Amino acid sequence: QMPQLSTQHLRGREELHLAHLVLSCITMGYVWQEGEEGTVQVLPRNLAVPYWEVSQALGLPPILSHADLVLANWRRKDPNGNLDTIITLPGGESLRGFVLVTLLVEKAAVPGIKAIVRALGAILQRDEETLHRALQELAGAIEAMSEALRRMHDYVDPEVFYTVIRIFLSGWKDNPAMPHGLIYQGVSLEPMAYSGGSAAQSTVLHAFDELLGICHRQDSAAFLRRMRNYMPPPHRAFVEEIHRAVSLRQHVLSSGDARLRAAFNRCVSALTDFRSYHITIVTKYISIAAAKAKAGRAEPRARAGPSAGKPPSALEAKGTGGSHIFSFLKSIRDSTREGMISA
């Protein structure tokens, strides 16, 4: 019953991103409102057409991505800088905590992104002092990201995340609950398949991998490459620019400078630790929570409420982006560790 919205009055990147966030959340709510059992095959024209138009204008896919849920979904609640989300899905305070803690991880990465640009400039200038300082700043930023990620325990309830929030972040590619994808009415007669939101869509980790010359195994690398299609195009271009730039690793190796090697290895070690800690978080919020949900399915539910329905099971072993979660996370953690330069 929603009127078909016109996208022609949207002005500028911020309005387009806000529209994409709103249409993404309406779409996720519409698709998953009845849980895995009652998924729809068709997204109605009055939602699908404006969503497709905004997505095309931004160069983003028509599904809720990391760029929507986290990067475009925050506002200042008061002059003290306290943050709040703009749009919420089911999950209450835990969803708010999940979005804002993830945002704080991104914010902690900002000095590291700036350090990448300085490091690449320093290599071209053969300025070892500036390069050393940039690598120290990068390592410090990655360590700060791990600190920010620890706050997840304070703000997100594992049961709420697993049984309520996670389904609304799920996509319709590599998802047994929606094997055929989704028809965007008025856009395509054929169903289209898109991956759900995933931390693998975060630009910062791709940028750090490219700078440090981390080589992931073939299947993991292929999945990460596919996730780049879910980034805003300027982010994707930034990551590809680093890929084409001069090799930091080769420069450190050929310099024979022990200080540079130590600073480089501190970056790789910090990134390995961050990925190890991410595995700890995923274990708590997905595999342990899944086991508890399974046990709960065997018993009569003691309480009503949004999680009193059947907990989702289609993605028990997979991430919302569709990857086999533990083999993928362990593989990228191990290949990161292999990026260390031995003395």
Q: Tokens for 27, please give them.
A: 């779409």
212, 268 in Cβ contact below 8 A?
yes
Q: What is the pLDDT of residue 297?
A: 63
Contact status, residue 319 vs residue 312, Cβ threshold 8 Å: no
Q: How far apart are CA 68 and CA 110, in angstroms?
A: 18
Q: Is the pLDDT of residue 319 over 70?
A: no
β pairing state of 183-184 and 42-43 = parallel
Q: Which pLDDT does position 253 carry in this prediction?
A: 95
Look up tokens 């990068």; give the residue.
138
SS (H, E, C) 95-164: HHHHHHHHHHHHHHHHHHHHHHHHHHHHHHHCCHHHHHHHHHHHHHHHHHHHHHHCCHHHHCCHHHHHHH
Sorting pLDDT into bands at 50, 70 and 90, what band is 303? very low
Computed from CA positions of residues 267, 271, 274, 276, in that sequence, does the dihedral angle turn out positive or negative?
negative
Q: Which residues of 83-122 are buried (b: 16+ CB within 10 A; e: fewer)?
A: eebebebbbeebbbbbbbbbbbbbebbeebbebbbbbbeb
Q: Which residues contact 247 (CB under 8 A, 6 or more apart)?
A: 213
Q: What is the pLDDT of residue 81?
A: 84
| CATH code for the structural domain at 13-293+317-339 | 1.20.58.480
Q: What's the average model confidence in pLDDT over 267-290?
A: 94
Q: How confident is the model at residue 193 (pLDDT cuts 50, 70, 90)?
A: very high
Proportion of the chain above pLDDT 90, given as a percent: 81
pTM strictly above 0.85: yes
Q: Is 91 left (phi over 0), alpha (psi -120 to 50) or beta?
A: left
278 annotated among ligand-binding-site residues: yes
pLDDT, position 302: 44
pLDDT per residue as tens digits for the range 54-111: 999 999 999 999 999 999 999 999 988 899 999 999 999 999 999 999 999 999 999 9
Cβ proximity of 81 and 223 under 8 Å: no
Residue with tokens 């002092």, as numbered in its chain: 129
The Cα–Cα gap between 2 and 257 comes to: 64
pLDDT at 339: 96
Is-contact 195 66, C-beta < 8 A? no
pLDDT at 202: 97
Structure-block tokens of residue 171 = 């996509």
- What is the residue whose two structure tokens read 């997100």? 156
